Amino acid sequence: MHLSSLFLFLECTLYPNSPQRHQTPDLPRVTILQMGVPTVRSNTTQQLMDRKKEKLNGWETLRFGIFGALILAPSLYCWVRLANVIVKGSTLKHAVIKAYIEQFTWAPIAYTEFYLCINLMEGKTLNECLQECRTKIPPTWKIGFCVWPVIQTVNFWVIPLKHRVSFVGFFSYIWNTFLSYMHHYKVEGSESSSFGETQ
């Protein structure tokens, strides 16, 4: 939360006359509703789609909700605001630049946050969490690189600043369902076998 406040303070200090300072969404509402709820729904969807699960794991869903509300949302909020400061302008060209900058800056951080925090909340050791990051971030990033630049180009080009986190949150429901799937399956390079095998 304090990082978001820092970025907003810097932006308003550097650009005191910017109309964007009046378009800032309420951070607690963004955190709890726009990212926390979708991550809960995403994990629930993934569990319901998993034929090997006999019943829903409520604790797992809770962990995903905590991650979405308290970790993902503040950092995403920071990035959306910061991207608007780094690359000024709202043309298609500016939107494309922001979208691809995101894939080399924010995306690796977001994927690291996900695999590290979810595994830590499950009680795994730091070494196990780092191994998860090493084996799953590269394939996750490759798939994300094919999807998110298009979504974020539309986001930065068409969607008003105050609605951008909500717009991303909509598509994040599908993406986080995929991340939940990735969390439960081994990928090539992990200790046992290849992509698609249950952990």
Determine the pLDDT at residue 68. 86
Does residue 8 form part of some domain?
no
- Amino acid, res. 160: P
User: Does some domain include residue 34?
Assistant: yes
Rounded CA separation 42/173 (Å): 5
Torsion of CA 188, 128, 133, 140, to 10 degrees: 50
pLDDT of residue 193: 36
Give the model's pLDDT for residue 32.
Answer: 56
pLDDT band at 29 (very low <50, low <70, confident <90, very high): low
For residue 159, give the nearest of 87, 90, 75 by alpha carbon. Answer: 90
Degrees (nearest 5) of the Cα angle 74, 117, 68? 40
Q: What is the pLDDT of residues 30-75, one digit of tens each?
A: 555 666 777 888 999 999 998 888 888 999 999 999 998 888 878 8
User: How confident is residue 27, by pLDDT bands cut at 50, 70 and 90?
Assistant: low
pLDDT in tens, 119-145: 999 999 999 999 999 999 999 999 999
- 18 band by pLDDT with thresholds 50, 70 and 90: very low
Domains of the chain: total: 1
State whether residue 50 is helix, strand or coil. Answer: coil
Question: Does any domain span residue 14?
Answer: no
Angle (nearest 5°) at CA 161 between 165 and 67: 20
Longest dimension (CA), the chain: 57
pLDDT, tens digit, for every residue of 158-195? 988 778 767 877 788 889 899 999 998 775 555 433 34
User: Is 171 inside a domain boundary?
Assistant: yes
H/E segment holding residue 186: strand 185-186
DSSP string, 85-136: HHS---SHHHHHHHHHHHHHTHHHHHHHHHHHHHHHHTT--HHHHHHHHHHH
Is residue 6, in this structure, part of any structural domain at all?
no
The answer to the question of residue 73 being in a domain is yes
Candidate from 18-32, 71-85, 108-122, 155-169 with smallest mean pLDDT: 18-32
Q: Which domain holds residue 33?
A: 27-198
Question: What is the model's pLDDT at position 33?
Answer: 63
19 located within any domain: no
Residues sharing a CB contact under 8 Å with residue 10, sequence separation 6 or more, in sequence order: 85
